[in-house]
Amino acid sequence: MDRTAQRTPRPAGRTVAYDPSSTAPSPAPPLHVRAAAVLEAGWTGTSTVPSRSLYPHQWSWDSAFIAIGLRHVSPLRAQTELDTLLAAQWADGRIPHIVFNPSVPLDAYFPSPDFWRSSTAGRAAGAPRTVQTSGIVQPPVHALAAWLVHLADPGLSRARGFLTRVYPRLAAWHRYLLHRRDLGGGGLVSVVHPWEQGMDNSPCWDRPLSRVTPAPARSFRRADLDHGSPEGRPTDLDYGRYVRLASDYRDRGYADGGIEGAARRASVEGGGGRRAGEFAVEDPAFNALLIASEYALARIAHELGAASTARQARAERLTAALVERLWEPAAGMFLCRDVRAGELIPERGVSGLIPLLLPTLPRDLAATLVRTMCGPHFGLGGTTRLVPSYDLLGEAFDPHRYWRGPAWINTNWLLEGGLRLHGERGRADALRKGILHTADASGFAEYVDPYTAQACGATGFGWTAALTLDLLHDRPAGDGNGVTAIKGGDRG
């Protein structure tokens, strides 16, 4: 996703005349009330924007995370959130990373609908004609979100046919990823743009991005710099590369694997491998979230009376492929694979810790991930209260520059669930406490300095508020959470 980062200045203090009717400030509303108010402020009637002023459209994985929290406030609105997103699905199965609101001016956000030209450039891929979208995707959190929304009110869900309605769309989404995006031929999904993985300017992308010829600076206008300082945003050079990748993909009609390459070995999922473009990366977090959502789809299938064992088996095979292709023992974590170069990328990003959320991850690998998370590279429980987005010891680390160091609530929510899933209850409780404290103190900031928890980016951010609600409702009383909800086979 291309996000506009904003540092929010504190308003200057003002002198207030003495008011004898009020000698003490009113107490702040409870945290859950304030979190719910953020979601209410972002509600458009059919979906929730991440931030009214900065991100005025619907984002794919934002909506999934928002639905996970919104289910505690209104299961009906949480269902509607996902229904709205899935209504914009393309005929080839992809769920676009942005669904544009036609009432928002074109110059309010870049890349805007006239850049993506989905209804014309995406016609062969089955882009919808009645709504404008982007042409790339984001991490597949959606089936997990749908299952959790169902669990919030199963009676309402069944009465409205929610799972019956979303299941075929989610199944088509997974088929698209497994068969169209197996660019490495090893069974894992590749992203073809840094925005697809969600961690836009992570140092993990620097090496493969260096092969991309940037678009001329005068060929586009960076709306993000209207709201944030250049020091907190991707460089002009990188942004030019983002635009080049997106425009080339658009000009190929959003066809996957459009550049000639060597034949790939057969895929464990039957995709057989496709041709990799200039940028093709197998990312640990993207694939781990797909696996988690495969487990969730198995639960949904069982609820609907359909066979679920094939999906569970697929999730287990994908976990094995993830370990085979992306685990790096020397780093003590998973790394991204540059498909074009055929090698792992030697950068430690938070993405490489996210597979901790998988229930069948080998026990020794889970233990190693916990040690890495709590060691000097990420510092959890020591130098940092939340897990940063990038290696604290890495040359590219920057505590304020988007995904090059700051801590994000959504990744920490996933890791909290992973810790709890693998029996690390004490560490999970401490991380939960840190997330809630940070969300409260930062005004539900988009991301924070991992050392000081200083608010960065937008405040009143959608998924920060939503996942705060989820933590407040689900932990730690029953020791259950959104991630552990996928564990346990076919139990309803």
Full 3-state SS string of the chain: CCCCCCCCCCCCCCCCCCCCCCCCCCCCCCHHHHHHHHHHHHECCCCECCECCCECCEEHHHHHHHHHHHCCCCHHHHHHHHHHHHCCCCCCCCCCCEECCCCCCHHHCCCCHHHHCHHHHCCCCCCCCCCCECCCCCCCCHHHHHHHHHHHCHHHHHHHCHHHHHHHHHHHHHHHHHHHCCCCCCCCCEECCHHHHCCCCCHHHHHHHCCCCCCCHHHCCCHHHHCCCHHHCCCHHHHHHHHHHHHHHHHCCCCCCCCCCCCCCCCCCCCCCCCCCCCCEECHHHHHHHHHHHHHHHHHHHHCCCCCHHHHHHHHHHHHHHHHHHEECCCCEECCEECCCCEECCCCEHHHHHHHHCCCCCHHHHHHHHHHHHCCCCCECCCECCCECECCCCCCCCCCCCCCCCEEHHHHHHHHHHHHHCCCHHHHHHHHHHHHHHHHHCCCCCEECCCCCCEECCCCCHHHHHHHHHHHHHCCCCCCCCCHHHCCCCCC
Contact 447, 457 (CB under 8 A): yes
Among 92, 200, 416, 474, which one carries the catalytic annotation? 200
Residue 200 bears catalytic tag: yes
What's the Cα-to-Cα distance from 8 to each of 54, 64, 227, 440, rounded to whole Å? 12, 26, 9, 15
Task: Determine contact, residues 410/429, Cβ cutoff 8 Å.
Answer: no
| Active-site annotation holder among 294, 338, 391, 446 | 446
60 neighbors 465 (Cβ within 8 angstroms)? no
Q: Any catalytic annotation for residue 182?
A: no
Say which amino acid occupies 369: L
Q: Which residues are catalytic?
A: 200, 446
